[in-house]
């Protein structure tokens, strides 16, 4: 006979959903003694809580989660996609406008990559968009030193195994030659670490510029480098199947009788 799981959700999940921190960071906050539940200091994330529990973060009550929001950010090259960098390098979060709420990145772009980076205030939404099962295509404009034949592009389209790591088939097309460089458009759904750079290197060329131009239905478009733009709530709901927004509090609507 299996035990019935306790009601509610894990405390780290609740903190992440409220936009306080990622789950991993929330676990570190718990270990640091920053979270109280019903007046008791907790030291383990192995705790389920419900809406009736009183949660304090650094002595302040946990606020009701905001509606899930998404921002498009045009990441410049040279920024790290982490909350903090051990080497002291500037992060994308350092570069965001100060009036932005706390956000998390959906996936990452490495230091030298640029282009579309999605940001969200909702931990559950972040994980949903990152899952390979979501099946969203991520498209990149890739500049390489040299050129690739159609036969080598076919290798990409069929999938590669490099040093024991399998890379799923990619969409790949040649755009134009520009002196010693060539531009390609690459589309992938998996997104392993440095996937495009590693597969290009295996094919004998070097990536010297990589720009993400889309992530699923979200497009970089003409968003300038360093700029951030919020996606309209209706589009967020439609694209992610979140359903209608909750009714806003206020005066009840009065229906007038027809005469």
Catalytic residues: 110
Cβ contacts of residue 186 below 8 Å, gap of 6+? 139, 140, 142, 156, 170, 171, 172, 196
| φ, ψ (nearest 5 deg) of residue 73 | -130, 130
Q: How many CA atoms lie within 13 A of 125 on its CB side?
A: 24
C-alpha to C-alpha distances, 208 to 22, 142, 213, nearest whole angstrom: 32, 8, 16
Tokens of 46: 């192995």
| φ, ψ (nearest 5 deg) of residue 168 | -65, 155
Closest CA to 191 of 130, 141, 143, 240: 130
d(CA 246, CA 230): 20
Tell the residue number behind the tokens 């109280």, with chain if given: 36
Tokens of 119: 């940001």
DSSP codes of every residue in 17-37: HTTS--HHHHHHHHHTT-EEE
């Amino acid at each position: 006979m299996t035990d019935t799981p306790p009601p509610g959700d894990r405390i780290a999940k609740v903190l992440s959903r409220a936009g306080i921190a990622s789950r991993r960071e929330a676990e570190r906050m718990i270990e640091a003694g920053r979270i109280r539940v019903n007046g008791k200091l907790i030291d383990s994330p192995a705790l389920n809580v419900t809406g009736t529990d009183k949660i304090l973060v650094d002595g302040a009550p946990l606020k009701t989660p905001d509606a899930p929001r998404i921002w498009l950010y045009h990441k410049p090259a040279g920024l790290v996609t982490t909350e903090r960098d051990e080497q002291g390098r500037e992060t994308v979060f350092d570069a965001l406008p100060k009036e932005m709420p706390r956000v998390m990145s959906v996936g990452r772009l490495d230091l030298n990559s640029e282009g579309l980076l999605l940001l969200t205030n909702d931990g559950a939404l972040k994980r949903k968009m990152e899952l390979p099962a979501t099946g969203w295509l991520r498209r990149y404009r890739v500049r390489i030193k040299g050129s690739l034949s159609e036969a080598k592009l076919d290798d990409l389209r069929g999938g590669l195994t490099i040093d024991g790591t399998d890379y799923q088939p990619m969409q790949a097309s040649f755009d134009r030659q520009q002196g010693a460089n060539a531009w390609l458009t690459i589309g992938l759904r998996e997104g392993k670490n440095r996937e495009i750079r590693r597969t290009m290197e295996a094919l004998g060329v070097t990536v010297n510029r990589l720009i993400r131009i889309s992530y699923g239905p979200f497009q970089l478009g003409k968003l300038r480098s360093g700029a951030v733009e919020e996606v309209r709530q209706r589009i967020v709901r439609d694209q992610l199947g979140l359903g209608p927004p909750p009714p806003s509090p206020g005066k009840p609507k009065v229906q007038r009788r027809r005469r």
